Structure 1
Amino acid sequence: MKKTAIAQSALTLLAVTAGAFLMALNTKTFVSTGGLYPGGITGLTILLQRACNMAFHVTPPFTPINLLLNVVPVYIGFRYIGKQFTLYSCVMIVLNSVFTDLIPDSVITQDVLLISIFGGILNGVAISICLNAGATSGGTDFISIYLSEKSNMDSFYLILGFNAVILCIAGILFGWDKALYSILFQYASTMVLHLMYKKFQQSTLFIVTNRPAEVCQVIYAVSQHGATILDGEGAYEHCERQMVYSVVSAAQAKKVIHAVQKVDASAFINEIKTQKLRGRFYVPKEK
């Protein structure tokens, strides 16, 4: 068990380091070249850097500003989300800050549309790597996870709206063209994040089976979610059929389906993306 825990911690640190490096590289290439604002604490840090440069002709380093702005979100993480999760996130925040100051500015392309799309994709990939490993890039990610766990909702679109406020300020100070391109950047990032990180998304499963009790047991064993057995009739053969209805995390859906197929290889399974969910739904908390 101790070796397993050490290996898991090493993998998490490796993922956090990779995510931090990708995010910093994105900042010093796409974001810097396009004059964009990623949103969140990173975007606010860049906004303050550029504001200082405009007002005083001095650009302060990224690290102290980013660390200072993350104090409150980190407190929320330790207080309401999980100490281990927040500790790994602190590593991510520090590494991202240091890498951003160390990596020199580089130009890959000067096409702002391409920068907005591919920079947003890279940003979403970096954040997703951290989240799936059990950490976050800090800032508004802590707030997003806190709201998701409290209200059982996918709050990334709310964070996208919050980021729009930062972009409006940037538009007023530095011009609306960069702010509008930054919205495309943030939208691409959010879409990638929505595809790659599915903890707060749900899938509805309809399973027609001859072994409903065993299917319900395996669903609970894999996902810790319950199920409902419905009686029905096959329209073709006019024979009795049982259908198991359950809602599980989208991240667990493949594991659940695989486990169900082991129990009943002939089961008919229909997976549907759940749009809205009301009522009690178990979501494991971060450690």
Structure 2
Amino acid sequence: MYWSEIKKIIIVIIGALLNAIAMNFFLIPAKVYASGFAGVAQLLSSLFATFASIKISTGILLLVLNIPITILAWKKVGKSFTLYSFLSVVLMSFFMEIIPVVKVSPDILLNAVFGGVIAAVGVGFTLKYGASTGGMDIIAMILSRMKDKPVGTYLFSLNAVIILTAGYIYGWEKALYTLVTLYAASRVVDAIHTRHNKLTALIITKKSEELKAAIHGRLVRGITTIPAKGAFTNESKEMMMIVITRYELYDLEKIIQSVDPNAFTNIVHTEGVFGFFRKD
């Protein structure tokens, strides 16, 4: 258990470092904007410098924006997820303060693509190991528990505000390159983890009772069991079907590994859920 927690902390540190590198070496020098709260912090930093002659770093603004979200998450989501997510934000802000802003390439397209890809690798692995990079991921987690509505709508709306504001003030070319960054990032995160908010796990096991007890001890999710039989061995088993959010995938994997390492699990992307889906 301790090694699992240490590994998660290491992944959070690496993810935060990759995000800081993407921002300070590629996106900020090229004035290409990231998605989510990082993009909001980046845009606010530019607006303060342009219209108020106040220089506030993107890293500091990112930390400030995440504080109220973290307090809300502490009450609504859970302590473990919130702590790791806030640790990720604090580390990213710290790395952005100590790493100088350097223009690696004069080519804005290279900056947009590499910035998006490097940031997405950090985000993807952080999500894969059961944490998040804060901001919209925390809001998505809260909304997934409060309302059964697509989180993508909120993320799209926030990114649209970033792109339109940046385009109107600093030129539409920057806004178009920001779209390139968002597309590259979404493809990489999808490859490493998943962009789908809900997932269906189909678990075939001989230890269904132990597994049900372990899942209900960690996750507040309903489980449907279906009798199953192995075609080759003719052995009787049970298939457990459970719908989860993407933020619960790491915990579910750990539960299955600890109770029944020989269980066969198929994770399916879920487009929508009709009927009762627990959100608390």
TM-score (norm 2): 0.75
Aligned equivalent of 2:187: 191
Give the conservation status (yes or no) of the 8 Å contact 1:80–1:146.
yes
Are positions 1:201 and 2:198 aligned together? yes
Are positions 1:176 and 2:136 aligned together? no
**Residue 56 of structure 1: CA displacement?**
4.7
2:64 to 62, 68, 83: 68
Aligned equivalent of 1:142: 138
Aligned equivalent of 1:48: 44
Find the aligned partners of 2:40 and 2:169 in 1 and give their Cα distance. 13
Paired letter, 1:47: L
Find the aligned partners of 2:114 and 2:22 in 1 and give their Cα distance. 9
| Distance verdict in 2 for CA 1:261–1:93, change over 3 Å | closer
Are positions 1:18 and 2:14 aligned together? yes
Aligned equivalent of 1:274: 270
Find the aligned partners of 1:230 and 1:92 in 2 and give their Cα distance. 42
**Residue 67 of structure 1: CA displacement?**
2.2
Deviates more, 1:124-133 or 1:169-178: 124-133
Find the aligned partners of 1:61 and 1:84 in 2 and give their Cα distance. 28
Q: Which has the larger radius of gyration?
A: 1
Find the aligned partners of 1:17 and 1:109 in 2 and give their Cα distance. 26
Identity over the aligned pairs, expressed in percent? 26
**Residue 248 of structure 1: CA displacement?**
4.8
1:117 to 101, 113, 116: 113
| Distance verdict in 2 for CA 1:85–1:202, change over 3 Å | closer
**Residue 47 of structure 1: CA displacement?**
1.2
2:159 to 156, 163, 167: 163
1:39 to 29, 35, 51: 35
Give the conservation status (yes or no) of the 8 Å contact 1:153–1:200.
no
**Residue 204 of structure 1: CA displacement?**
6.6
CA offsets per residue over residues 164-215 of structure 1, 9 Å max, x none? 11221111111111112112212322333334334843237598xxxx9x58
Find the aligned partners of 1:8 and 1:243 in 2 and give their Cα distance. 28
TM-score (norm 1): 0.73
Find the aligned partners of 2:134 and 2:66 in 1 and give their Cα distance. 7
Are positions 1:226 and 2:240 aligned together? no
* Paired residues, number: 265
Give the conservation status (yes or no) of the 8 Å contact 1:160–1:190.
no
| Distance verdict in 2 for CA 1:56–1:93, change over 3 Å | same
Paired letter, 1:202: L
| Distance verdict in 2 for CA 1:110–1:85, change over 3 Å | same
CA offsets per residue over residues 46-94 of structure 1, 9 Å max, x none? 1122223223555323343222222221121112111232222222222
**Residue 140 of structure 1: CA displacement?**
1.9
Specify the SS of the correspondent of 1:203: strand
Paired letter, 2:87: V
Deviates more, 1:44-53 or 1:215-224: 215-224
Aligned equivalent of 2:83: 87
Find the aligned partners of 1:129 and 1:271 in 2 and give their Cα distance. 17
The Cα RMSD (Å) is 3.9
Paired letter, 2:185: S
Give the conservation status (yes or no) of the 8 Å contact 1:167–1:182.
yes
Structure 1's unaligned 5+ residue stretches are: 235-241
Give the conservation status (yes or no) of the 8 Å contact 1:160–1:187.
no
Specify the SS of the correspondent of 2:175: helix
**Residue 31 of structure 1: CA displacement?**
0.3
CA offsets per residue over residues 145-178 of structure 1, 9 Å max, x none? 1112333565245313322112211111111111
Are positions 1:104 and 2:103 aligned together? no
Find the aligned partners of 1:229 and 1:144 in 2 and give their Cα distance. 31
Paired letter, 2:135: G
Give the conservation status (yes or no) of the 8 Å contact 1:219–1:226.
no
Specify the SS of the correspondent of 2:125: helix
